[in-house]
Structure 1
Amino acid sequence: MAYTATTPAYPRLLTKLDALRATFARAFDALIEARSRRNEIERLQKMSDTQLARLGLTRDGIVQHVFRDHLGL
């Protein structure tokens, strides 16, 4: 007696394509977040020391401030 597969072969391909799509989505999200942080650093660097002081920042602390959620500060 012969058996035939009734499941098409492409579900594995679809699974791989979904994984690839998810990888690209994560990479794109990381790119957007990095650009946003870079823009925030540039914005703060353009401020005067007096303006930074009003925000409770020093020029040396700008990067730490922008990345505080990643640095655990």
Structure 2
Amino acid sequence: MAHTTSQPSAGFSFTRPIVALGHGIWAWMERVAEANSRQDQVKFLQSLSDKELAARGIRRDRIVEHVFADRLSA
């Protein structure tokens, strides 16, 4: 009597390194796009008058902190 088991292959996959590289490149591109977007937001806020910034509840010396608040709190 023979016993047969079915297990997923844990061996080498030729596509795994290619997929990992693709994920790495995609993550890098997302970080670049996010950084550019935040940089644009800082430039925009810096172009506003002090009165316009005050209406948004932002002080001029806190613009960068405001834009990157989610990153700085972690």
Q: Structure 2 length normalisation: TM-score?
A: 0.80
Partner of residue 8, structure 1 = none
Whole-angstrom CA distance in 1 between matches of 2:56 and 2:41? 14
Whole-angstrom CA distance in 1 between matches of 2:40 and 2:14? 39
Find out whether 1:23 has 2:20 as its counterpart.
no
> How many residues were matched structurally?
63
What are the ranges of 5 or more consecutive residues in structure 2 without an aligned counterpart? 1-11
What are the ranges of 5 or more consecutive residues in structure 1 without an aligned counterpart? 1-10
After TM superposition, where is structure 1 displaced by more than 3 Å over at least 4 residues in a row?
A: none
DSSP 3-state at the match of 2:57 = coil
Whole-angstrom CA distance in 2 between matches of 1:59 and 1:13? 53
Which stretch has the larger CA shift, 11-20 or 53-62? 11-20
Partner of residue 8, structure 2 = none
TM-aligned CA deviation for residue 13 of structure 1: 2.3
Whole-angstrom CA distance in 2 between matches of 1:13 and 1:38? 39
Q: Structure 1 length normalisation: TM-score?
A: 0.81
Partner of residue 50, structure 1 = 51
